Amino acid sequence: MIEEPYRWVEAIANRREYIESQLAPGSPIAALGYRDGILFVTLGQMRQKIFEIYDRIAMGAIGHPGDIERLRMAAIELASTEGFTRSATDVSLRRLVHYSLSPVMKSAFEQIYGPPYLARMLFAEVGEKPEEDLFLRVEYDGEIASNGATYAQARQDFAALSGTQQSRELMETFLANQHAPDANLETAFNSALDAWSIGHMTLKNSDTKELPEHAAVRTHRQERLANAGIEAALLERDASRAIRYRLLPDNELRPLIRD
Protein backbone atom coordinates (compact mmCIF):
# COMPACT_ATOMS: atom_id res chain seq x y z
CA MET A 1 0.00 0.00 0.00
CA ILE A 2 2.80 2.40 0.70
CA GLU A 3 4.19 1.89 -2.79
CA GLU A 4 1.90 4.74 -3.72
CA PRO A 5 3.58 8.10 -3.03
CA TYR A 6 0.52 9.53 -1.37
CA ARG A 7 0.42 6.61 1.11
CA TRP A 8 4.05 7.11 1.89
CA VAL A 9 3.52 10.79 2.69
CA GLU A 10 0.58 9.86 4.85
CA ALA A 11 2.58 7.21 6.67
CA ILE A 12 5.37 9.67 7.35
CA ALA A 13 2.86 12.23 8.61
CA ASN A 14 1.38 9.65 10.97
CA ARG A 15 4.79 8.68 12.17
CA ARG A 16 5.68 12.31 12.81
CA GLU A 17 2.49 12.82 14.77
CA TYR A 18 3.16 9.70 16.81
CA ILE A 19 6.74 10.68 17.64
CA GLU A 20 5.74 14.24 18.54
CA SER A 21 3.11 12.90 20.93
CA GLN A 22 5.71 10.61 22.51
CA LEU A 23 8.22 13.43 22.95
CA ALA A 24 5.67 16.01 24.13
CA PRO A 25 5.99 15.39 27.88
CA GLY A 26 9.81 15.65 27.64
CA SER A 27 11.09 18.03 30.25
CA PRO A 28 13.17 20.97 28.93
CA ILE A 29 16.93 21.38 28.90
CA ALA A 30 18.60 24.79 28.65
CA ALA A 31 22.18 25.25 27.43
CA LEU A 32 23.82 28.65 27.82
CA GLY A 33 27.20 29.87 26.68
CA TYR A 34 28.69 32.18 29.29
CA ARG A 35 32.04 33.78 30.01
CA ASP A 36 33.80 30.63 31.28
CA GLY A 37 32.09 27.95 29.24
CA ILE A 38 28.77 26.34 28.41
CA LEU A 39 26.24 25.40 31.07
CA PHE A 40 23.60 22.68 30.66
CA VAL A 41 20.69 22.70 33.12
CA THR A 42 17.59 20.61 33.68
CA LEU A 43 15.54 19.72 36.73
CA GLY A 44 14.23 16.73 38.58
CA GLN A 45 14.47 13.86 36.17
CA MET A 46 14.13 10.17 36.82
CA ARG A 47 17.23 9.44 34.77
CA GLN A 48 20.31 11.26 33.58
CA LYS A 49 19.68 13.56 30.62
CA ILE A 50 22.99 15.39 30.18
CA PHE A 51 26.02 13.46 28.95
CA GLU A 52 29.70 13.86 28.13
CA ILE A 53 30.51 12.96 24.51
CA TYR A 54 34.11 14.06 24.04
CA ASP A 55 36.69 16.49 25.38
CA ARG A 56 34.77 19.61 24.30
CA ILE A 57 31.37 18.15 23.41
CA ALA A 58 28.32 17.45 25.58
CA MET A 59 24.79 16.33 24.83
CA GLY A 60 21.36 16.71 26.36
CA ALA A 61 18.51 14.52 25.17
CA ILE A 62 14.81 13.76 25.61
CA GLY A 63 13.02 10.73 24.25
CA HIS A 64 13.10 7.00 24.67
CA PRO A 65 16.01 5.90 26.90
CA GLY A 66 16.89 3.01 24.56
CA ASP A 67 17.16 5.27 21.54
CA ILE A 68 19.02 7.97 23.42
CA GLU A 69 21.47 5.33 24.57
CA ARG A 70 22.10 4.05 21.03
CA LEU A 71 22.69 7.54 19.69
CA ARG A 72 24.85 8.53 22.64
CA MET A 73 27.04 5.43 22.23
CA ALA A 74 27.34 6.02 18.50
CA ALA A 75 28.40 9.63 19.07
CA ILE A 76 30.99 8.62 21.68
CA GLU A 77 32.33 5.85 19.42
CA LEU A 78 32.69 8.18 16.46
CA ALA A 79 34.33 10.94 18.46
CA SER A 80 36.67 8.57 20.29
CA THR A 81 37.92 6.75 17.21
CA GLU A 82 38.40 10.06 15.40
CA GLY A 83 40.26 11.49 18.41
CA PHE A 84 42.42 8.38 18.61
CA THR A 85 43.36 8.05 14.95
CA ARG A 86 43.85 11.76 14.33
CA SER A 87 43.79 14.09 17.31
CA ALA A 88 41.35 15.54 19.79
CA THR A 89 41.31 18.83 17.90
CA ASP A 90 40.10 17.02 14.76
CA VAL A 91 36.93 15.90 16.51
CA SER A 92 34.30 18.40 15.43
CA LEU A 93 30.68 18.56 16.46
CA ARG A 94 29.70 19.95 13.07
CA ARG A 95 31.05 16.89 11.25
CA LEU A 96 29.74 14.48 13.87
CA VAL A 97 26.19 15.76 13.52
CA HIS A 98 26.02 16.73 9.85
CA TYR A 99 27.80 13.76 8.32
CA SER A 100 27.13 10.95 10.77
CA LEU A 101 24.12 11.31 13.03
CA SER A 102 21.71 13.28 10.87
CA PRO A 103 21.74 11.04 7.74
CA VAL A 104 21.21 7.91 9.81
CA MET A 105 18.36 9.43 11.78
CA LYS A 106 16.75 10.65 8.58
CA SER A 107 16.80 7.26 6.91
CA ALA A 108 15.57 5.51 10.05
CA PHE A 109 12.68 7.97 10.13
CA GLU A 110 11.75 7.56 6.48
CA GLN A 111 12.05 3.79 6.22
CA ILE A 112 8.60 3.26 7.52
CA TYR A 113 8.87 -0.48 8.07
CA GLY A 114 11.76 0.06 10.48
CA PRO A 115 11.76 1.81 13.83
CA PRO A 116 12.63 5.53 13.97
CA TYR A 117 14.74 7.06 16.71
CA LEU A 118 12.46 8.41 19.41
CA ALA A 119 14.84 11.11 20.49
CA ARG A 120 15.57 14.79 20.26
CA MET A 121 19.08 15.93 21.11
CA LEU A 122 20.95 19.09 21.88
CA PHE A 123 24.71 19.10 21.35
CA ALA A 124 27.16 21.81 22.34
CA GLU A 125 30.83 22.30 21.63
CA VAL A 126 32.75 24.84 23.66
CA GLY A 127 35.01 27.26 21.76
CA GLU A 128 37.97 29.34 22.82
CA LYS A 129 35.74 32.41 22.87
CA PRO A 130 31.96 32.65 23.38
CA GLU A 131 31.64 33.57 19.67
CA GLU A 132 33.01 30.15 18.79
CA ASP A 133 30.54 28.12 20.85
CA LEU A 134 28.47 25.81 18.69
CA PHE A 135 25.01 24.50 19.56
CA LEU A 136 23.23 21.97 17.36
CA ARG A 137 19.75 20.57 17.90
CA VAL A 138 19.05 17.31 16.12
CA GLU A 139 15.50 16.09 15.62
CA TYR A 140 14.24 12.52 15.26
CA ASP A 141 13.97 13.02 11.47
CA GLY A 142 17.57 14.19 11.15
CA GLU A 143 16.66 17.87 10.94
CA ILE A 144 19.43 20.09 12.32
CA ALA A 145 19.04 23.53 13.86
CA SER A 146 22.14 25.50 14.75
CA ASN A 147 22.73 28.62 16.81
CA GLY A 148 24.09 30.23 13.68
CA ALA A 149 27.73 29.77 14.52
CA THR A 150 28.41 28.16 11.17
CA TYR A 151 26.41 30.41 8.87
CA ALA A 152 26.05 34.12 8.40
CA GLN A 153 23.03 34.80 10.54
CA ALA A 154 22.44 36.41 13.90
CA ARG A 155 23.97 34.01 16.34
CA GLN A 156 22.74 33.17 19.77
CA ASP A 157 24.88 31.93 22.60
CA PHE A 158 22.26 29.55 23.93
CA ALA A 159 20.00 26.72 22.87
CA ALA A 160 16.94 25.02 24.28
CA LEU A 161 15.39 21.60 24.02
CA SER A 162 11.83 20.77 25.02
CA GLY A 163 8.94 18.37 24.45
CA THR A 164 6.99 20.74 22.23
CA GLN A 165 7.99 23.34 19.68
CA GLN A 166 5.80 25.86 21.50
CA SER A 167 7.62 25.41 24.76
CA ARG A 168 11.06 25.52 23.12
CA GLU A 169 10.29 28.73 21.23
CA LEU A 170 9.15 30.47 24.39
CA MET A 171 12.37 29.43 26.14
CA GLU A 172 14.34 30.83 23.20
CA THR A 173 12.39 34.09 23.24
CA PHE A 174 13.09 34.44 26.93
CA LEU A 175 16.82 33.68 26.57
CA ALA A 176 17.20 36.01 23.60
CA ASN A 177 16.04 38.88 25.84
CA GLN A 178 17.58 37.76 29.08
CA HIS A 179 20.90 36.13 28.36
CA ALA A 180 24.22 37.80 27.56
CA PRO A 181 27.24 35.68 26.60
CA ASP A 182 29.51 37.58 28.99
CA ALA A 183 27.40 36.58 32.00
CA ASN A 184 29.09 34.85 34.94
CA LEU A 185 28.10 31.38 36.14
CA GLU A 186 25.62 32.62 38.74
CA THR A 187 23.74 34.84 36.29
CA ALA A 188 23.77 32.22 33.54
CA PHE A 189 22.55 29.56 35.96
CA ASN A 190 19.61 31.70 37.10
CA SER A 191 18.67 32.54 33.52
CA ALA A 192 18.80 28.82 32.75
CA LEU A 193 16.50 28.04 35.69
CA ASP A 194 14.02 30.67 34.51
CA ALA A 195 14.17 29.36 30.97
CA TRP A 196 13.62 25.82 32.24
CA SER A 197 10.62 26.95 34.29
CA ILE A 198 9.08 28.74 31.29
CA GLY A 199 9.60 25.66 29.15
CA HIS A 200 8.15 23.39 31.80
CA MET A 201 5.11 25.60 32.47
CA THR A 202 4.20 25.86 28.81
CA LEU A 203 4.52 22.16 27.99
CA LYS A 204 0.92 21.34 28.87
CA ASN A 205 -1.08 24.26 27.49
CA SER A 206 -0.08 24.28 23.87
CA ASP A 207 -1.97 27.44 22.89
CA THR A 208 0.11 29.83 24.99
CA LYS A 209 1.84 32.29 22.71
CA GLU A 210 2.98 34.75 25.34
CA LEU A 211 5.71 34.39 27.93
CA PRO A 212 4.23 33.66 31.37
CA GLU A 213 4.19 36.43 33.98
CA HIS A 214 7.43 36.96 35.86
CA ALA A 215 5.79 36.21 39.22
CA ALA A 216 4.28 32.99 37.92
CA VAL A 217 7.68 31.85 36.66
CA ARG A 218 9.21 32.54 40.06
CA THR A 219 6.52 30.58 41.88
CA HIS A 220 6.80 27.65 39.50
CA ARG A 221 10.56 27.65 39.81
CA GLN A 222 10.48 27.68 43.61
CA GLU A 223 7.97 24.84 43.71
CA ARG A 224 10.00 22.67 41.36
CA LEU A 225 13.31 23.42 43.08
CA ALA A 226 11.82 22.42 46.43
CA ASN A 227 10.78 19.02 45.08
CA ALA A 228 13.40 18.15 42.50
CA GLY A 229 17.13 17.79 42.08
CA ILE A 230 19.16 19.97 39.72
CA GLU A 231 21.04 18.20 36.96
CA ALA A 232 23.74 20.36 35.46
CA ALA A 233 27.03 20.06 33.64
CA LEU A 234 29.70 22.42 32.40
CA LEU A 235 31.94 22.55 29.37
CA GLU A 236 34.74 24.73 30.67
CA ARG A 237 36.44 27.24 28.40
CA ASP A 238 39.76 26.96 30.29
CA ALA A 239 42.16 25.59 27.68
CA SER A 240 44.78 24.38 30.18
CA ARG A 241 42.89 21.13 30.52
CA ALA A 242 42.03 18.76 27.67
CA ILE A 243 38.79 17.46 29.13
CA ARG A 244 36.34 20.28 29.64
CA TYR A 245 33.26 18.40 30.78
CA ARG A 246 32.42 18.60 34.46
CA LEU A 247 29.29 17.55 36.34
CA LEU A 248 27.94 20.21 38.67
CA PRO A 249 26.48 18.57 41.76
CA ASP A 250 23.21 19.86 43.20
CA ASN A 251 24.86 21.07 46.42
CA GLU A 252 27.35 23.19 44.48
CA LEU A 253 24.51 24.93 42.63
CA ARG A 254 21.95 25.54 45.38
CA PRO A 255 23.91 28.48 46.87
CA LEU A 256 23.84 30.21 43.45
CA ILE A 257 20.03 30.36 43.32
CA ARG A 258 18.72 33.93 43.45
CA ASP A 259 15.07 34.45 44.17
Q: Is 40 among the residues that bind another protein (CB under 8 A)?
A: no
Q: How many CB atoms lie within 10 A of CB 103?
A: 11
- Beta carbon of residue 72, minimum distance to another protein (angstroms, whole number): 8
CB 173 within 8 A of CB 162: no
Euclidean distance between CA atoms 214 and 80, whole angstroms: 44
What is the closest distance, in whole angstroms, from the C-beta atom of residue 16 to another protein in the complex? Answer: 21
Backbone angles phi, psi at 37, to 5 degrees: 155, -155
* 208 lies in the site for another protein, by CB under 8 A: no
Residue from 73, 145, 176, 216 in contact with another protein (CB under 8 A): 73
**123 belongs to the binding site for another protein (CB under 8 A):** no
Distance CA 139, CA 136 (A): 10
Residue 246, judged by CB atoms within 10 A of its CB (0-12, 13-18, 19+), counts as middle
Phi, psi at residue 235, to the nearest 5°? -110, 110
Q: Choose, by CB under 8 A, the member of 38, 78, 170, 235 that binds another protein.
A: 78
Among 48, 173, 208, 219, binds another protein (CB under 8 A): 48
d(CA 188, CA 194): 10
CB of 104 to another protein, least distance (A): 5
Q: Which is nearer to another protein, 9 or 247 (CB)?
A: 247
13 or 243: CB nearest another protein: 243
Q: Is 122 helix (H, G, I), strand (E, B) or coil?
A: strand
Instruction: Tell me which residues touch another protein (CB under 8 A).
Output: 48, 51-54, 70, 73-74, 76-78, 80-85, 95-96, 99-101, 103-104, 243
